[in-house]
Each structure stands twice: as structure tokens, then as C-alpha cells.
Structure 1
């Protein structure tokens, strides 16, 4: 029994012993070398900007002892003459997974997703892994370290790249000779991302907005826990608190995610270091405004093989552009004063790092900045600026010895010294034997050309103008050659060896194919002439200018407000004046300032609107376009804590298409995967601006609820239906339970605010989900509820009245005509489809007269899209109200303008053509309800974001640009550049029930 207990106790400590094995701290077993080494006559880069010509670097015990031009060299010092050579600090990569075994998705032992964690003592979500320390699972990777050493790196940061809170990283020196000194810090950084752990079956989060909400809740819980309010121990929160002073590195992998992470950090009063993606140049103004530091990969995309025109046509212009523009990213970042380090992350091969960096320099990136981004900057980011990344006195002796300027294409890296230990990359004493020779082996004579690199020469033998197979190697100036002079199909090999002494006359011993030993000699007849690589010195490709956004139909510059005067238009006011003929409308400073006849303004640009129709912009009350990484947070039956405002995608081409269809405002709704969904975003489609600039200012608060088949998972397939609720009556219970919890939560805070601050009780935990539901109870947030069946519509109104609030809008509401009187009495509006029916079981009773019947009952009715394609033709959807129900044209037009504005509580600013309202206007070439109507101009706040004439010009420009880029790519193929197959990225168009992991 004692043996069993002893083995069990020993087993508990195996992981730590394993990690310690790679960083032993018992230096008594190490042989200490206290000798000095002096490197003299070198060009020394103490820092990227502090340079010494013909200087001396003195090191001892892995440290820099002195640098300068008048260094006193101690006796018995090993002196290395580096005349004509250069010394640089070794590179640092603070973002790697070096020595960490890649995590694989755990075996799916359970058929269904997990909703509650099975871990005890840790945070409730398994993607929060802040207690993980890379040190505990680290194993030094000798093979990978050699790859990095050859690329010039001496120190790397490493962490477990899994989860949303990923735990701490370590800092390791790539010292292959002395493992006791490798570990520079067992906790150097704290890591975060938006990507859930691959090692969990837990469902939540299923979306980017869910990841963001989880991080918000985590930081709130951290503060609550730190203040002593918890009654149990949470090891994840404890680790987060213990490590809060470490540099926080956030993996964003996209420019828009970088902006999101920046906003999140600033909410809680700290700055992340952002690990970016290489596309920051596309949003450089917003990136600059973050005032954050970055870690940037340089995994530029390979050129595309566009020789097949059918395959080339599959390529998006944005992808062609990115190939062209990506090499400028580092220059753009640097020119804008953004501090960044470089990383090898995402490279297929470590050896590609140098080639890509040289390419960036070719495209204008300053070489001094390049050196900073690999030395002083990463050292500073992790708080080690006084120890690594420079060759100042007292710093660690990590340095490179090169043949010349480190970022010159012809420069050779000879040695990489880490902590005073030498790693040989190329023989520094190698003699250059390249050239043309007359080779004699016994009595046989050959023409011999030696080319290639000094340390990797290539052999080319000919006899009587016929090529003879040969292979040459050189090491420590010993030549080894294998020759097959007789018959390449047989094993008739002759072996040559010799030591290089006289570069004009090489000689040595040869063993012939028959075993006979003879002498060989090679007399140099001509020096080596290096072939000029025609591709190496070619000019950089012409760079396509950035647009906003940087895709097709982007703007070449930010658009501005104009003073515009529309003359002689047919104006659909949506006000008591109705439709006005031959009327002028003056727009100034983003507002409608005058409506009438014979208006004049000397500062205005005149637009002849004779025979045309001017309306307020279309408002789509229910849209799912322009959302990043998931429209549903389906991990729980309530996700009130998430918000679409976090994930607006300002670069979705559907925005431009909406503008072309006259849409100026949309409510971006969470999907219908759960009874209580996420919070909405009301946006103005300011094409080319950032997501933050698209958000409607001071917008009313909305949230998406849902009823029916989707939330009870009737159509989710065989694997997923496990989450409560599974029935329509269960849906009602979800609402009742959550609102009751919200009431109790609100009461607990009121009690604390009355008594707790006096020290009588501990503070309740801030719960973002319940906090949002309290806003509904307090009538500070409005519900848009996905609905179909009359029984559930009545149920939802009953629940609301039970808790003393009102549902704002029933969306879809295809059985609304059955309960129109009840809806009118409740005070709820309807945002419906014009003529959808029978696309699933619960809409079998839908009729196209639904909107008209609801309208006639006095319910505020809007038509919505819920569909990326339909949203660009909502004007035609409005016309269906005329066909189905004999609604007047004027009232039908309100279904997509004023009525949705009323439902969104923004009708005081938009939705009609009225003096003082926002200048969100559309000029149509025909009656807007006509199928022949086209939007000629769409403006928002007096800025024209769509112009049909500009659109025509852009189409021609896009064709010209594609041809230019395809020409550049064809040239890459001619040059023999590595190519990749063209590919078309299939974009998911969201609707209510889209689930995307």
C-alpha cells in the first residue's frame, strides 16, 4: 500500500520534473568556461542605430563585457579577426509555439455538445485556460531550434496556442549547448484570442460575438473575484489575477479583429500587444488610432497561376489585390509610426522568413526599422530591453556574424552566437574555390566549372563537350568530389579528396572506380563570374492603390458631405404633405434644410431631378448582412450578453449592393437559434468608413428574441437537439425563468446599493446576460421577436405583460393577421415578409395579405429582408403591399421607410423627407415602387455613397485593374516564381437560422 501511495505521489510531479529537465538549475554539474573571447575589426551594431566601425566585441560567460574601438583585450583571450565582416544582435521572435506539442481536438466521447463544464475549481467555460503555463509542457525542440538559428534567431517566446484565455508564455534562448541557461523567463507573457479551445466539447461560444462577450464577462469576474466577493476558489481567475502585470498578447489574425480587441482592452483600462495578420495596411488610419503595439507575420501570399482564364475568373479582386499589396504592409505600418515586432508565425517554412523580409524591404520597408522589429522592439515588448536585443555592456551575448549588411541579398550569415555559445550556419573560413578549371585525374582531362554559393558549391564536369555526372562538397576547406566518368547507368565512381591551399591550383588524391589510387589536379583558367539573377533585381510590381474598403467598388478616398440642391423632383415626403410634384429639396451639413419650389443656393451643387423621384432612404428592420463570424450565438438558450455591435463587418460587399438598392439604414439582428438571442446593431451604411463609424449614434437599445422551430431545435439534425428547450411550452418557461432571475438580480443590486456599500453585504457578481434582461424589465431595451405561430405570439405578449413590459416588434409574424387585434391592444409592431410562405412547417398558414390586414387593424407594419439578396430590392417588396391588399402607393412606401423607422424609435431623425431630418435620401429614375426603378443616388447625412454614374466608371476601372493584376501574375509565372492555384472563397450569406462555427 505504501508503494502504491509513493508511486501516486511521484506521478503527480512527473510533468514538473519533465519541464525542469529542460531547464536544470544545478549548475554544479556544468563545466564553466570563464575565458574571454574578443571579436576585433568588425562593424558592430550595438543597436540598430548605434554602430561602431572596426570595433571590438568582448564577451565572457555569455555576457557582453565591452564594445568599442579602444577595448582593452585581456591576456589569454581568444581573439577572432572579423575584418570586413559585421556583428548584429541575434533576432527575437516573441510569438511562437516552439517546444509546445500541437494540440489536437479531443476525442468526441459524447454524441452531443457540452453546455456546462465538467471541470471543478476552474472557470465555467473551458476556453478560458488562464491557468495554463507553457513552462509546464515545454520540451526543447533541437531540430526546430536549428531552423530558427539558421534564420538568425537567438531567443523565442512560446505559448500554448489554444483557447480564448491561453495562459502564460515563456522566453527561451536557443542555446543548444547549455540547457541550464536556456530559460530566460518561465512567465513572460499572458495570451488571449477570439478562438475557442480545440480541446473542449463545450458548445459556448459558437461565434465571434460570443468570444467577445465571454472575455468581457471574464474581466468583470476577475475584478469581482479580486475584490474578495467570491466564496469559492477559481484557479482560472486566480491565475489571471496573479499574471495581470505580464504583457498581454492578443492574437487577432485580422485587421478588423485588431480594432475589436483594442476596443475591448480599452473598456477595461489596459492595452494589448496585438498579434496581427499582415492586412493592417488596409485600415491603417483606424489601426494607428488604437495607439497599440503589434506583432506582425510576413507570410505573404504566393502568386496565383492565372494562365487558365476560366480559373482566373474565379478570383475575387480583393484576393488579387492582397497578393499585390501585402508586401507593403511593413512599410505602411512603419511610415505611420506604429511600433511592431516581426514573427515567423504562419510561415510554411522558417527559411522563407528572410526571403519575405527582403521582399518587404524591396517594397520600401526601411532596413533599420527591420532590424529594430527583430531586436530592440520585441525585447522591449516583453520587458527585456536591458538584457537581449542589443550588444550593450551587460547584455546577453546573442549575436550574428555576417559577411556584410544583414539585409543585403548576397550577405552570408556565418555564425549565430547565443549566450556566448557558437552555432555555425556557414563556415566563416571557407575559401572561395568557384571558377573554371582544367581538371586532370590520372590521364583523363575534364573541363570543370565550380559555381553556386561559397559554402554550397556546385560542380559541372565535361569531357569532349559531354556532361559527366559529379557531386561536390566542401567542409573545413576539404574538398570531396564523386565523379561517374564512364557510364552513368553503372556504379563506376571515382572519388576525389583534397585540402584547399592554393586557389589557383587544386590537388589531392583520387580513388578510381577500379580501386586504383592516383593524383588529381585542377588548374584555374578563369575566375568565377556570378550569374545575375534576372528576377532578383527586377523592379517591384506596380502597387494598386488602396480603396475604402479595399475591395471592388471601394472608394479611392473618404467621401465628404456636400451641399446639394435637387430641382424639380417628385418628392415622397411620408409626411402630411404627401407626394409633391416639381419640388426642390436643399441639403446642407447633412440635414434637409429646405423643401419647396424655386429654391436657390449659390453654394449648392445643382442636381436636375426633373422626371425623377426623391424619397427618404429605405430602412431594413431585419437584416443579417455585414456580420463577422457568426450571426447566432447558439451555445446557450440565452445569449443576451452578446452584441452584434461588436462584429459589424464594414467590408461586406452587400453594403454597397444595399446602397445601390436605396437602403440607408439596417437593423442587424442576432439569429434565431435560441429563445433569448443577442443585442442588435442599428447601422447607417457609410460605405468605406469603419464599423464604429457605421453605428447609428446614440441608437435605441434592441435585442432579438425568437419562438418556434428554430429555438426548439426541430430542424437542427440528429446530433444537436439536446439543449433546453425542446418544445414550444419549454420556450415559454425559458422566458419566465430568465425574467424571474433578472428581477431577483436587479433586487440584489438595489439591496447592495442601499446596504452593501456600507459594508453589510458583498457585491453581487456583474452578469452581462441578466443585466441586459433587467434593461428590458425597466423598458430601456426593446425586443424584436422572431415569430410565426399565433399561439406563441399570444404567449410572448402574455409573458411580457406578466413582467410589466411590452414587446416592441414581432418580426416575420406570418400568422399576425390571426391576432392583429391582440397585437394592436398590446402595442406591438410587425416587421414581416411581403409574400413568403410554405418554406417550413410553421409557415403553412402564411398569406401574402398579412401585411395589409395588420396595417388595416392599426398595427405599424414594415417589410424586411432577412436576406442579403432581398435587401437590395425592398422597394419592390413594398410594391407588393399594393398588389396584396390594395394599400395605397404612399402607405406602401412607408412599409420600408417611415414604419421601420418608427419600429426602431428613430423616426424623429429619419424615415421621411422633412426639414431638420437627416439627409438620408434616394433619387430614383422612376416611381420607386416600379420594377424598372433604379437608385441613381443614395446619400446618408448628405454624403453620396452610391452614384450610378460613378458605378459605371468603377466597373470599367475594375476590369482594367483585374487585367493589370493578371498581367503581373503571368509575369511571375514567366519568372518561375512558385504559384498557387486560383481559388474562390465561398461566402456564407447569413439568415436567421445560419449556424457557423
Structure 2
């Protein structure tokens, strides 16, 4: 009877639908305004991840849950649906989609080093100055239902989505909509449900921003501008973008970060302005779970796990990095890592190559440790709570929308199917429940001339059934909901080959048949019981051991609990290059305690120290690279001539193998510079090479702030074809005018703030607009920020100093300075330092006059001279670059070593901390195998703050471990392919090697780098 009842009711459901109170939409025909009033009985109702009711009842009416519980009175006028054996769950929620949104058309503009630049916004109207800020855009105004996409989402169990237009850095508001096949008026639950942001300028054709740090600066400036706009400053007029920005601040703030480091960057912007973002992650949060947790954010996580690559060909495999292969292996652990860390998160279908992957990848996440309870939370309560709509959706409670799914069993079980998805009380079939109700065992009787013949028919689905007699035979089975045909395959005998045809009436089937001899007969089939269901066994865990998360997530990184730690270190009996008045000391000891140099002398003792035998070895201060471009995700913000608001510190990248490589060459401190694409570039960042540290801990705390300026061909973009370059300046004369104009504006800006501060209590006094660009220039004028200036030609060097003298600031350092030998006396009078190459020249016109004696000549004139790299590879041998100055110019060995240690420390204003071996300075030292200026010298140990970050013996061991890990991962990927799983073509792993010495390097040189070797 149960089967018949449920079958009849499923037919009855076809006439019910939800009625909405509405304005009078025209009806072409007879209006049908019946109410959607249903009672679901005998169901296992999962109200939320923590509450399950057995044999429970739920009443819905007009798209809303009216009652739910164990002892609910059944209304007489409601349609009753017996859900015995069924489960009811809240429909899922996806809060990161573009469902029903127009597809943004890609832009063709942006920063073009060699071509024309678009400076102003192309958006028409009273909007802001930057077209990547689209805070005025409202998704609900563009929303149009998409039944095909809605159906795909409904089949996965989703009933509600947050949708927005995925275009721009500030993307305006998102709308919360249901996936019901209603018109748009009834689909939208909340028209403004979120404010959305990203680190992607989208379709903007404007040149600025053209880098990660530029996007961060634009966001920071827009927050400040919006706060200023609150005052309704009379000079601003109407700015719809800023007004919308302000209006949107009360909404949940969603930031598409898309990477673990971007997660932290976004969170810091939020912290600065008192905003807690909901962060859409990149799927690699497991690699920095401690830092991710510290953001206190709710995350939106995609299940877009990477596919294995086809690495059977060794020539393909060698170009795929260990890190990429390791991420393929560990990406499915990301949801479980978030759960284990107690980080709230939502799951999204976003980024999937195919929507159908969602269920399969969710099951994979279960295998890697995600609990079913947390998965259900991530699909229901957590997204609803994050958006502040838990009173409407996210669980099954009276008063909430009737958004729920009916399943054949526990929703995440392997064999469970979603039968129906109800949205606002309207039923959407997923797996047709007519068939599902009829599944089971049937007693089949053939009424032949020789008497009845009995069989058992196992009905599994409309296309699958088995006939059981003496043998079990899988039949060709056809069922269209009313008529049934059963053909026993002729190649498999079951007494006779049979063909049956008939009609279905609930659980009673009947018809006629014929055997292989042409004998006709009648037949009947009646329901006799349920199929034996295979109970889900414990979820399979991944076979074989998984690789470990390392810090950084690269070869030679350290595992959790194995981080190098600060030690008391005593180097005994070495040749010590102090860079102090003591000079080079033979058979001398160096003691480091608490990260500082505690003593330099003979016969030092420390019972608690790690002893390093320095016999035959040399100890020097750590090498300092004054001009570097490693460990940053972007280097140039070149869309404008003045970008002093951008900061390298905002986009440091600790996952740069060059940190480790340079440690292997004795480098302990690097000055990370903005590039040379514009006259006034961005703020620089001094870092210590603390391998494995996060981006914040890389920073050299307490160091003086610097900024990058540039002169010459890079700034005026000489390679641009005539008539195609439209960014001022075009000439070296123009560079001088850019500097003069920028500092004139900075002085006016500073004056306006001083006037405001002195009269701020005056009635009607409006605060000036805070300008991040001019703030940095005011710091220069006040000697609180220092300039390092890209330069080559003597005329532009003297011109830059004339402007500085006129405007009242000083150029701290001229970097490159290949014609410095021509103007060394003028530089000395100005008070500038010189940071140069040893013997790089002839790579473009303005370096044709460079000579290898440049550094020695400038030094003899009395300048403080450093040798820098401007190149990730050269930095590994800066000791050898310094040695060239001994050959070219006769500089002493001690003075040559100072050019890569103490001298850059002085020009960076950190000589009180690093650069020499003096008691009280930081414990940054290198233990060399030979004279540090010898081409045969190699660091045995590179120590930063008393922590050994490079140990050559350990490096040799790790080389073997890296090779073994690569071999393991290649075999695992090959096994994935041979198992029949889909694989993708091997993709080479790329690394951008930043430099500013040449035009082609102003954005960075792309190189394939799969080796990730240490030395």
C-alpha cells in the first residue's frame, strides 16, 4: 500500500503550486490561484546539522514553513505527502555566484609599457575617477533568471544563491535570489545582500591600477575618499561611486581574494578601516592555516581541486614543479584543514570546470577528513549566518522559506539521491520520485500453457532491472512511467528467451509476453519488498601517505614543528671580518645569543651554545643587497608617472625560492624596490631572508622607510613607437617637471593640513582630502622617507639633484649610477650614496659609458658605495661581484666586502643593526668555506637573528628528499592517469624574475623554473 499511496500522491503534486500576493500581472487564459499547502509526514527531518527529527511532520503554505515537529496536527485542506523512508534537509546556499548576471566583456586597456595609456575612466556619468571602482552597480537591477543554470544548481541541492557581477575591484552589491522558476519579482529575496570586492580590475581599460600593490592602494584611497565625502565637501560635487560605497558599508562585505597571501592582504585592508570581510579563498589556505585563522574571517571555499597532470613523458615531468604536484595532492585537504582549525567556511560551486564535479569533489573532501556535519553547515547555516539571513533560510524552522530537498537517504551517503528540491514551496523534480517509489522486488508470474512460472524481478531504475530464476540475468528494461517492456538478452538463457510488454498501475503490473518459440502468455508482477540496500562503509581514506605541508610551500621548506629556531651559537677559531676598526681577526670566536652578537674575541666560552668549528673558515656579516626585486608578487605600478602611494610591503611573497637560493649565497638582508617604470614609483620594503616566515615576519622591523624614483629611458619609455606613447613625460626635461610638480603639490597639501589643524575648531571648516600619494612625498620633505633613485646618465643625475635642492629634499641613494664616476663630486656635495653594478653595461644606449672602475672611483672621491644585484641570480654571488672591485680599481679586500655589507647598511640607515660584527648588532653572519671574496668560497651556514636558515650539510640531505618527493609525486600522478581518472596536459611551472635594469624587465622576465634547487 505504501508504494501505491506515494505513487498516487506524486501524481497529485503535479497540480499544486505556490500563490503569491502580487500586483495584477495579465493572464492570457483562466487564472489559477490555488494555494501551495502541503504536509510532509513520516519523514526524517534534518532541521540543521545539529538537529534531526525522526518520523516528523512539516507543514508548508504559500512558500513558507508553518510548522515542523513530531506531533503536528495535519490540516484538512492540505495535500498530505507520506515521506516514510525519506529525508528532508534545508536546500543548500551558494554565496559566490554570478547566476542570472550579464557576462562582463573583457577590456583591452591597462598599463602598456610600449603603447598608449588610458588615464581617465571611460564610465559615463557622475561617477568616480577609476572605472575599476563600480560600487554603484547593483546586481538586482541586472538580474534575469537562467533556468538552465538554475536547474543545474537545483540538481545539486541548491535553492538559494547570492549573485553579483564579477567585474572590477569594487563590484557593487550582490542580490540574494532563489532558484525557483518564478519571474524575477519573486526570485529576489534581498536586493542588496552584500558588497563585493576583488583583486581583479576586470573589464576596466584604465591604466591604473596595473599591479597588486596598485589595487591595494586604490582600495585604501577609496576608503579614505569615502570617509572624506561624508562631509559633502563643496569642491567635490556629486560622486555616485563614493556615495554608493558609503551606502554599501552596512552590508556583509565579501572579498574575492583567491589565494592564501591575498587572503591576508585583504584582511589587512579590512583591519585598517574597521571592516571584517567574508573572504573567498583560493583553495590553498591549508598552506598557511595559522595566518588564515588569525584573520577571524568566514571563508568561501571552492571545491575546484586541480586535476592530475600527464607526466608519463619525463620531458614533460621535469617542467612541473614539486609545489604544483604537491598542491594537486593536498588541495582536497583544504576544507578539512579549515574545519580542524575552527575556521567558519561556506562551500561554493564557483570556479568548477564542470558543475557536476561539485558532488564528486565534495565526496573527495570527505575522504580527506571533512566531516559531514561541517559540510552541511557550510552549505546551509554558515552562509545564511554570514549574510545575516538565517531568519529566512539556512535551516528548517517555522517562519522560514520552504526551501528544502527530499532525499532517498542521508544526503551525503554514497547511494543517496536527491529526489526533489522544493524552493519557496514549489516542487522541482531531480530524480523522478515515481520511479523511486517503485523500486523494489517484484514477484513475476508467467501464465504459460504449461502452468505458472515464477521469477523475481529486481527493479532498480527505469533502465536497470534483473530477472532472477535459476540464474540472475540483467535484462534490457524500458519504462516510461506507464508502459513497461522487458527483454531477456538472447545470448543469456533463462529457461526461454523472453519478451514482456505491459502496463503499470502503481505496484501492480500486468501484460502479455512471448518466448523464443513464439508461445504467447499473460503475466503479472506485484511488489514483494524493498531491495537490499548496501550500507555505506566507512569512507575510504586516500591510499598511501600524503606529503607534508611545508613552510614555505616549496622544496627546502620546513615542516610543522621543525622550523629553524633561534639558538645560542658559538663559532670557534675562524678568520673573522669585523668591518670595524679591529679589521680582520685570525683564530677568533663569535658568540650569538638572543639573536644578537654577544661577543667577538678569542677563547670564548658558552656552555649552552651550539658550537660551529670555524677552523680554516671565514666569518663575515651577512650580505645586504641594496637593490633587489625578489619576494614580491608585483614590482611596477606604471600606469601613472607618480605612484608614491603604492607599497611593496603590501604584496610581499614569502613563497619565492630565491629567498632560499640567496641564503645559500650568504645574503641575509634585501631591499625590495619598486620598478623603474615611472618617475616617482612606490614605497620599498627592507626584508630579512627568514626562510619560511610569513609576509609580515619577513619585514626588517624598525628600518627606515624608502621610496623608489627613476630617471631616463624607462621613465620616458623610449622604446615606444612614435605617436603611440602618450604618458608624460616623453623627455628627460619632462622628468624634471614631474618631480617639480609633484613636490609643489605636496607642499600645498602639507600647508592645507597645517591650516586645518590650526583652525579645526572653526565653524564650517572642512578637513582636506587625505591623499596617500602626497602623504609619502610630505614624508620625504620632512626627512622621514628616503629616496633610492634609478639613474644612469650624468645630465639627468645632476638635474635630479638640482630639483631636490630647489624643493628641499635629498636623494639618499642613486642606484645603478653607471656614470657616477663623472659626477661623484656633485653627489658628495649633495650627500648622496651610490649603489652600482660591478661590471654590467652595454645593454641599452644610456649605459654605453659605463666602466668597471666606477665603484672604485666613486669610493675614492668619498662616496659611500655599495654593489647591488637588481637580479635574483646575481644576488647569489654578490661576494664575487664585490671581489671584482679589488681587480678593477685596487680597492682593498676589506673595503670591497664592505660594499656588500656595511656600506649598504649605512645607506639604508640600519648600520646600527647590521653590516658589521659588533656586540649588540643583529646576529646576521655567514660562515664561509674560504676567503669570502674567492670564487671558491661557499657559505656553510647563513644565520639571521641567531637562526640558521641555511646549513649546507642539511641542504645536501634535503636535495635528496626533494628528489624522492618529486619521484613519489610523479608516480602518483601516473597512477592517477592509469586508473582512468581524467588528467590534464602537463603545465610548466613559471616564476617571474623581476628586475628594473632593462625595459623588458620592467614588468619582469617570465622563466620556467621547476627545479626549485637550493644552490
Calculate the TM-score normalised by the size of structure 1.
0.91
CA contact (8 A) 1:25 1:180 kept: no
Relative distance call for 1:934 and 1:525 in structure 2 (3 A) is farther
Matched, 1:751 2:760: no
User: Could you tell me which of 141, 166, 169 is aligned with 1:136?
Assistant: 141
- Tell me which residue corresponds to 1:978: 982
Matched, 1:546 2:543: no
**Which aligned pairs between 1:80-91 and structure 2 lie closer than 5 A?**
80-91=81-92
**Which aligned pairs between 1:695-844 and structure 2 lie closer than 5 A?**
695-716=699-720, 721-759=725-763, 761-844=765-848
**Which aligned pairs between 1:447-462 and structure 2 lie closer than 5 A?**
454-455=460-461, 457-458=463-464
- Tell me which residue corresponds to 1:651: 655
Give how far 1:346 is off: 0.2
70-79 or 330-339, larger mean C-alpha shift: 70-79
- Tell me which residue corresponds to 1:858: 862
Secondary structure in structure 2 of the residue aligned to 1:758: coil
User: Could you tell me which of 23, 26, 34 is aligned with 2:23?
Assistant: 26
Matched, 1:273 2:282: no
Matched, 1:555 2:552: no
Relative distance call for 1:713 and 1:495 in structure 2 (3 A) is farther
- Tell me which residue corresponds to 2:390: 385
CA distance in 2 between partners of 1:966 and 1:529 (Å): 42
The root-mean-square deviation of aligned C-alpha atoms, in Å, is: 3.4
- Tell me which residue corresponds to 1:17: none
Relative distance call for 1:34 and 1:874 in structure 2 (3 A) is same
CA contact (8 A) 1:561 1:941 kept: yes
Give how far 1:197 is off: 2.6
CA contact (8 A) 1:481 1:497 kept: no
CA distance in 2 between partners of 1:297 and 1:189 (Å): 19
CA distance in 2 between partners of 1:950 and 1:100 (Å): 54
CA contact (8 A) 1:479 1:500 kept: no
Give how far 1:965 is off: 2.1
CA distance in 1 between partners of 2:782 and 2:51 (Å): 63
Give how far 1:985 is off: 2.1
Give how far 1:848 is off: 0.7
- Tell me which residue corresponds to 1:489: none
Secondary structure in structure 2 of the residue aligned to 1:711: helix
CA distance in 2 between partners of 1:428 and 1:569 (Å): 83
Secondary structure in structure 1 of the residue aligned to 2:715: coil
CA distance in 2 between partners of 1:117 and 1:410 (Å): 54
Relative distance call for 1:532 and 1:718 in structure 2 (3 A) is farther
CA distance in 2 between partners of 1:847 and 1:920 (Å): 32
- Tell me which residue corresponds to 1:319: 324
Give how far 1:55 is off: 1.0
Give how far 1:536 is off: 8.2
Secondary structure in structure 1 of the residue aligned to 2:714: coil
CA contact (8 A) 2:320 2:987 kept: yes
CA contact (8 A) 2:301 2:348 kept: yes
973-982 or 845-854, larger mean C-alpha shift: 973-982
User: Could you tell me which of 868, 871, 894 is aligned with 2:872?
Assistant: 868
702-711 or 295-304, larger mean C-alpha shift: 295-304
Matched, 1:347 2:352: yes
- Tell me which residue corresponds to 1:151: 156
Give how far 1:743 is off: 1.0
Secondary structure in structure 2 of the residue aligned to 1:169: strand
Q: Deviations over 1:568-591 (max 9, x none)?
A: 011110000001111011111000
CA contact (8 A) 1:566 1:608 kept: yes
CA contact (8 A) 1:438 1:525 kept: no
CA distance in 2 between partners of 1:631 and 1:214 (Å): 16
- Tell me which residue corresponds to 1:919: 923
- Tell me which residue corresponds to 2:336: 331
Matched, 1:884 2:885: no
CA distance in 1 between partners of 2:159 and 2:931 (Å): 70
Matched, 1:569 2:536: no
Please list every run of 5 or more consecutive structure 1 residues that lacks an aligned counterpart in the other structure: 1-22, 487-493
Give how far 1:34 is off: 3.6
CA distance in 2 between partners of 1:192 and 1:321 (Å): 30
98-107 or 607-616, larger mean C-alpha shift: 98-107
Relative distance call for 1:449 and 1:286 in structure 2 (3 A) is farther
Relative distance call for 1:518 and 1:674 in structure 2 (3 A) is farther
- Tell me which residue corresponds to 2:167: 162
Relative distance call for 1:527 and 1:222 in structure 2 (3 A) is closer
Q: Deviations over 1:655-690 (max 9, x none)?
A: 110111111111100000001100000001111111
- Tell me which residue corresponds to 1:15: none
CA contact (8 A) 2:841 2:848 kept: yes
422-431 or 950-959, larger mean C-alpha shift: 422-431
- Tell me which residue corresponds to 1:690: 694
Give how far 1:439 is off: 12
Relative distance call for 1:216 and 1:869 in structure 2 (3 A) is same
Relative distance call for 1:670 and 1:355 in structure 2 (3 A) is same
- Tell me which residue corresponds to 1:61: 62
CA distance in 1 between partners of 2:640 and 2:308 (Å): 43
Secondary structure in structure 1 of the residue aligned to 2:624: strand
Relative distance call for 1:413 and 1:480 in structure 2 (3 A) is farther
CA distance in 2 between partners of 1:390 and 1:925 (Å): 67
Relative distance call for 1:439 and 1:921 in structure 2 (3 A) is farther
CA distance in 2 between partners of 1:530 and 1:844 (Å): 82
Secondary structure in structure 1 of the residue aligned to 2:589: strand
Give how far 1:43 is off: 1.2
Relative distance call for 1:592 and 1:924 in structure 2 (3 A) is same
Q: Deviations over 1:760-783 (max 9, x none)?
A: 532211111111111111111111
Relative distance call for 1:510 and 1:747 in structure 2 (3 A) is farther
CA distance in 2 between partners of 1:930 and 1:500 (Å): 95
CA distance in 2 between partners of 1:495 and 1:204 (Å): 73
CA distance in 1 between partners of 2:581 and 2:945 (Å): 23
CA contact (8 A) 1:851 1:861 kept: yes
304-313 or 889-898, larger mean C-alpha shift: 304-313
Relative distance call for 1:528 and 1:373 in structure 2 (3 A) is closer
CA contact (8 A) 1:126 1:197 kept: no
Secondary structure in structure 1 of the residue aligned to 2:548: coil
Give how far 1:532 is off: 11
- Tell me which residue corresponds to 2:177: 172
CA contact (8 A) 1:824 1:859 kept: yes
CA distance in 1 between partners of 2:241 and 2:588 (Å): 66
Calculate the TM-score normalised by the size of structure 2.
0.89
CA contact (8 A) 2:617 2:928 kept: yes
987-996 or 474-483, larger mean C-alpha shift: 474-483
Give how far 1:456 is off: 5.5
406-415 or 90-99, larger mean C-alpha shift: 406-415
CA distance in 2 between partners of 1:983 and 1:314 (Å): 8
Give how far 1:747 is off: 1.0
CA contact (8 A) 2:669 2:689 kept: yes
